[in-house]
Chains A and B, each alone.
Chain A
Amino acid sequence: MIRFILARLVKAAVILLAIMIFNFLLIHAAPGDPAAVMAGEAGATDEKFIADLRARFGLDQPFAVQLWTYVKATVQLDLGYSYRQSMPVIDLIWQRLPATILLTMTAFVIALVLGVIAGVLAASKQGTWWDTVISTLALLFYATPLFWVALMASLLFSVVLGWLPGYGYQTIGANYTGIDRVLDIGKHLILPATTLGLFFMAVYMRMTRASMLEMSRLDFVKTARAKGLSNGVIQRRHVLRNALLPVITLAGLQAGQIVGGAVLTETVFAWPGIGRLLFEAINQRDYSVLLGVFFVSAAMVLLFNLITDILYVLVDPRIRLG
């Protein structure tokens, strides 16, 4: 097991490094640089101002030197310094990461739990109106633009009904502590996490349903049925367990998409996470922050994939470690 994990880690590290270099080249190809943005914002500029800024950002170095400096630092897990915000990138990300992890993990759990339950339900009631209603609902959530649902939800629950806060991470200035603080954040979390979760729920629901149906037609299930095992036992012990395999794979692949979806959700709900940090960094050409966020989210995806691989091995005894 340890050898397996180590091998996967090495592979992940290589991909990560390739991604970092690719991103570096990509973002430096974009028109405009951070110095130009800051000069633009200042409302006035002259040659000295631009030259000073360029020097500060290290943009006066030859491109190859910039790339080399960057790669060297990244290999040592040094994400660099944001001269725009006068802060180490790791600190900036660290300030935002917990919010994103809280949001995406909650959304992910909502999506996975609701999706699998709904999928199992739909599959076991295949062909009935249960199946139709669940499938249709899931499809509706899947076919609706995420940001649109977010806008409508915030409008309805926050403005019209006044039940939930419509934006932000906590009540600013309230300075809650202990359980009050947890409740406060929880209240702020409901809308964004549900919006994000419902969209992805549909995918898990359909996957689980399809996979369950496919499994029930396979030989070992027929055998189990022939052995006279009750339908509930078969469903739980044989079908669900095997049906979850593709769901796990999908979950690993989707981790990255959820980070992407967080950009929209975080924007609409003013959630102070790295999705928004990323979007702002792109607009400001804050290279080091942008690359840092890419690094962290790619690392998260790879970590997720690793976890799903391990889960796979644990759930499916047929797979040998290699």
Chain B
Amino acid sequence: MTQKRTFFTATAIALAMSLPAFADTPQSGGTLNLIIQPEPPSLMLGLVQNGPTQMVAGDIYESLLRYDVNLDPQPSLAKEWDVSEDGLTYTFTLHDDVKWHDGEDFTSEDVVFSVDVFLRETHPRLRASLVHVESIEAPDENTVVFTLKQPFGPFLGIFEAGTMPMIPKHIYEGTDFANNEMNNTPIGTGPFKFEEWVRGSYIHLVKNEDYYIEGKPYLDEVYYQVVPDGASRAVAYETGQVDVLPGGSIENFDVPRITAMDNTCVTDQGWEFFGPHSWMWMNNHEGPMTDVNTRKAVMHSLDREFALEALWNNLGKLATGPVSSSTRFYDGDTPSIGYDPELAKQYLADSDYDGETIRLLPLPYGETWQRWAEATRQNLIETGFDVELVATDVAGWNQRVGEWDFDLAFTYLYQYGDPALGVSRTYVESNIAKGSPWNNVAGYVNPEVDALWQQAAVSASDAERQELYSQIQDIIVDDVPVAWLLELGFPTIYRCNVKDLVTTGIGINDGLRDAWIEQ
């Protein structure tokens, strides 16, 4: 019976996903209700870049480029761009009729201010990329020139709203950015304007009538509704109160039931840019996981196929190593890290593990992750480990992971399309530092690989980069510094009459500029 059900589930999702996009003429008008989970702390994208903030603020703020599902750059505020032969000069030409929501003109001065002044001060991830930049100049109102110190392969990949949102110079120049009153009424150039935020209830955006693309956006109003309980979020969709459940809105266990509803479509597109990649940190600094055989024993103990099927509705893929298959320069031809209890026991026997209790930290992001940790603990116990789950909330998790106070810890990170942007940061020795849960927390040290990362980032040739990244992937997979789990698949669930909801590799976080409702 269950077998049949699982089959039905998989088919339903597959069917829903294969629905062709109708090439109809977009219709203007209507209100779109979406779930936002959890409630963002702020909508000022230049100051706060967490997931929910990006999702809502992606309608308000824009950057120079967007990326399609293959991660090729598309025009946004820049209509054209040009990269010099030597890979050192990037020239962007801006649309010339863009206005801020308060009516001021958007110019190249705003770009220079945003990147060189504001974001350099506030945005740690962009700051890491800006070390390659020699200068940012605005030769005229509509042109911006970035000059690099040396070639930086992934440079064209950092011009997206979450990484480089455009901030209005006329509002922020010379002020205390973090405490500027305007942070609560964000002003951007995006297709929707901020209207009202009733904390704990909803965020209301309205159409930007002066948007620079004629006829867009199509929607009149957008509500992001805050519903704190997963079951209630599912009810909100079922009762018609919301039309869109962005990835992660409802618990995975509810996905098959909701996607089986009438007039319900689902897509797993719109996450290619992020390439959410999950793994377990293994503490390479101290404790049992310092032994590579113990780590291999852990790796081969994990029944990831079960997790994919029972916990993730078969959305997503088994990870084969550090790089996600949607990220550039992925190489799947690496040593096998599959489920093999016998092999795991062998590695355990060869290791110097002597029965100490392994502290496993689940990711405190809801029930799916909790169940996953429980299943993992059981997998490990069956290999012969003694495992204890350590319960934490988000703050406690950050603290423990950042202070290396664990043996195993679940996590997932975004890859931002390029290994140099989102992968190397968790494996290079220079990124070992207490206090952050997002650097080389495991404490993996391999000077040979460090050199390869270095070389690959500053290479101007894609062929050479592929060669180097393939080598890196091969070596790292054999070292198993962490236990790779899944390339996560986050389904976006929506009413089928909502069209063009996800049009880029950034998904809903890229704004609802193209979305429309079929009447």
Over the window 37-51 of chain B, the binary record of Cβ atoms lying under 8 Å from chain A Cβ atoms (1 yes, 0 no) is 011011010001111
**B436 contacts A50, CB within 8 Å?**
yes
Smallest Cβ distance from B350 to chain A, in angstroms? Answer: 36
Give the distance to chain A from B43, nearest Cβ to Cβ, in Å: 10
- Distance in angstroms between the alpha carbons of A52 and B438 in the assembled complex: 17
Q: Tell which of A109-117, A167-175, A210-218, A294-302 binds the partner.
A: A167-175
A26-34, A119-127, A237-245: which one contacts chain B? A26-34
- Judged by a CB distance under 8 angstroms, whether B413 is at the interface is yes
- A39, A99, A166, A268: the one within 8 Å of B398 (CB): A39
Q: Nearest-CB distance from A275 to chain B (Å)?
A: 10
Interface membership of B215, Cβ < 8 A: no
Q: Give CA–CA (A222, B42) in the complex, Å.
A: 67
Given contacts A86-B42, A173-B33, contact A47 B228 (CB under 8 A): no
Known interface pairs A43-B414, A49-B124, A268-B229; A95-B200 also in contact (CB < 8 Å): yes
Of the candidates B198, B235, B394, B396, the one whose C-beta lies within 8 Å of that of A272 is B198
Of all chain B residues, the one with the shortest Cβ separation from A274 is: B200
A167-B236, A269-B232 known; A41 vs B50 contact (CB < 8 Å): yes
B201 at the A/B interface (Cβ < 8 Å)? Answer: yes
A159 touches B (CB below 8 Å): yes
Determine if B413 and A272 form an interchain contact, defined as CB atoms under 8 angstroms apart.
no
Residue pair B183, A37 in contact (C-beta under 8 Å): no
Cα A46 to Cα B434 in complex, Å, equals 10
Cβ contacts under 8 Å, B229 to chain A:
167, 267-270
Contact A172 B238 (CB under 8 A): no
B175 within 8 A of A: no
- Which A residues lie within 8 Å of B183 (CB)? 86
Give Cα distance in the complex from A158 to B233, angstroms: 13
Q: Which range contains the number of B residues in contact with the other chain?
A: 35 or more
Q: Is the CB of A33 within 8 A of B433?
A: no
Given the interface pairs A95-B199, A172-B201, A267-B228, the reply to whether A280 lies near B128 with Cβ below 8 Å is: no
In the bound assembly, the distance between CA atoms of A31 and B184 in angstroms comes to: 29
Among A1-9, A15-23, A281-289, the one that faces the other chain is A281-289
Residues of chain B with a CB closer than 8 A to A84's CB: 41-42
Other-chain contact of A32, B232, B395, B413 (Cβ < 8 Å) = B395
- B435 part of interface (Cβ distance < 8 Å): yes
Verify A31–B396 contact, CB threshold 8 A.
yes
Assess whether A183 is interfacial by the CB under 8 Å rule: no
Q: Mark A140-152, 1 if CB is under 8 A from B, else 0.
A: 0000000000010
Does chain B have a CB within 8 A of A165?
A: yes
- The verdict on B31 contacting chain A, using a C-beta distance below 8 Å, is yes
Contact call B395/A159, Cβ cutoff below 8 A: no
Residue of B nearest to A30 (CB): B395
Chain A residue, CB-CB nearest to B47: A86
Complex Cα distance, B200 from A266, in Å, reads 10
- Give the number of residue pairs across the A-B interface with Cβ within 8 Å: 172
Q: Are A173 and B239 in contact (CB under 8 A)?
A: no
Stretch of B218-226, B367-375, B465-473 contacting A (4+ beta carbons < 8 Å): B218-226
Q: Mark B114-131, 1 if CB is under 8 A from A, else 0.
A: 000000001011011000
Asked if B184 and A173 make an inter-chain contact with CB atoms under 8 angstroms apart, the answer reads no
Q: Are A42 and B232 in contact (CB under 8 A)?
A: no
Q: Are B184 and A44 in contact (CB under 8 A)?
A: no
Interface residue? A276 (CB, 8 A): yes
**A36 touching B398, Cβ below 8 Å:** yes
Are the C-beta atoms of A96 and B200 separated by less than 8 Å?
yes
Contact A284 B437 (CB under 8 A): no
Given the known interface contacts A37-B394, A167-B236, A285-B395, the answer about A42 and B199 at a Cβ–Cβ threshold of 8 Å is no
Q: Considering only CB atoms, which chain B residue lies closest to A91 in the complex?
A: B199
Task: Please state if B199 and A162 are interface contacts (CB–CB under 8 Å).
Answer: no
Task: Report if A42-B395 is in contact (Cβ < 8 Å); known contacts: A92-B199, A173-B223.
Answer: no
Interface size class of A (residues with CB under 8 A): 35 or more
Binary contact track B405-445/A, C-beta < 8 Å → 1, others 0: 00000000110000000000100000001011111000000
CB-based contact B227/A270 at 8 Å: yes
Q: Which of B49, B122, B124, B184 has the most CB of A within 10 A?
A: B124
B349 contacts A by Cβ under 8 Å:
no
Known A45-B124, A45-B438, A86-B42; judge A31-B50 contact (CB<8 A).
Answer: no
Among A40, A266, A268, A280, residue most surrounded by chain B Cβ atoms (within 10 Å):
A40
Q: How far is the CA of A245 from the CA of B324 in the complex (A)?
A: 68
**Interface membership of A154, Cβ < 8 A:** yes
**Is residue A67 contacting chain B, with contact meaning CB distance below 8 A?**
no
A280 to B229 Cα, complex, angstroms:
12
In Å, the complex CA distance between A84 and B47 comes to 11
CB-CB under 8 A for A165 and B41, given A46-B128, A47-B435, A96-B200: no
- Please measure, in the bound complex, the distance between the C-alpha atom of A278 and the C-alpha atom of B199, giving whole angstroms: 13
Question: Is B83 positioned at the interface, with any CB of A under 8 Å from its CB?
Answer: no
**Least CB distance, B239 to chain A, in whole angstroms:** 7
User: By the criterion CB–CB under 8 Å, are B200 and A277 in contact?
Assistant: yes
CB of B178 within 8 A of chain A?
yes
Given the complex of chains A and B, what is the CA–CA distance between A46 and B131 in angstroms? Answer: 13
Contact B225 A172 (CB under 8 A): yes
Q: Do A159 and B239 contact each other (CB < 8 Å), given the known contacts A270-B227, A272-B199?
A: yes
CB–CB A44/B438 < 8 A: yes
Known contacts A49-B124, A283-B393, A284-B395: does B178 contact A56 (CB below 8 Å)?
yes
Q: Say whether A43 contacts B413, CB under 8 Å.
A: yes
Chain B residue numbers with a CB within 8 Å of A283 are 393-395
- Smallest CB separation, A190 vs chain B (Å): 15
Q: How far is the CB of B354 from chain A (nearest CB, A)?
A: 29
Which residues of chain A have C-beta atoms less than 8 A from B124's C-beta? 42, 44-46, 48-49
**Would you call A276 and B228 a contact (CB within 8 A)?**
yes
Interface residue A38 (Cβ < 8 Å from any Cβ of B) = yes
| A30 CA / B395 CA spacing, docked (Å) | 9
A36 to B396, CA, bound (A): 9
With A and B bound together, what is the CA distance between A173 and B396 in angstroms? 37
Contact of A43 with B232 in the complex, beta carbons under 8 Å: no
- CB B123 to nearest CB in A, in angstroms, measures 8
Q: How far is the CB of A134 from chain B (nearest CB, A)?
A: 32
Question: In the assembled complex, which residues on chain B have CB atoms less than 8 Å from the CB atom of A267?
Answer: 228-229
B184-221 Cβ-contact flags toward A at 8 Å (1 or 0): 10000000000000111110100000000000000001
Given A42-B49, A43-B438, A169-B201, 16 additional A-B pairs, CB 8 A: A31-B396, A37-B395, A40-B394, A40-B398, A40-B402, A50-B436, A56-B179, A85-B42, A86-B179, A99-B200, A167-B236, A173-B33, A173-B204, A269-B232, A270-B227, A272-B226
A sample of 16 inter-chain contacts (CB < 8 A) reads A34-B395, A36-B395, A38-B48, A39-B436, A49-B124, A56-B179, A85-B41, A86-B179, A95-B198, A154-B232, A168-B201, A168-B227, A172-B241, A173-B33, A270-B228, A282-B393
Contact surface of B with A, Cβ cutoff 8 Å: 31, 33, 38-39, 41-42, 44, 48-51, 122, 124-125, 127-128, 178-179, 183-184, 198-202, 204, 221, 223, 225-229, 231-232, 235-236, 238-239, 241, 392-400, 402, 413-414, 425, 433, 435-439
Task: List the 5 closest A-B pairs by CB distance, nearest first.
Answer: A272-B200, A32-B395, A44-B125, A41-B50, A40-B398
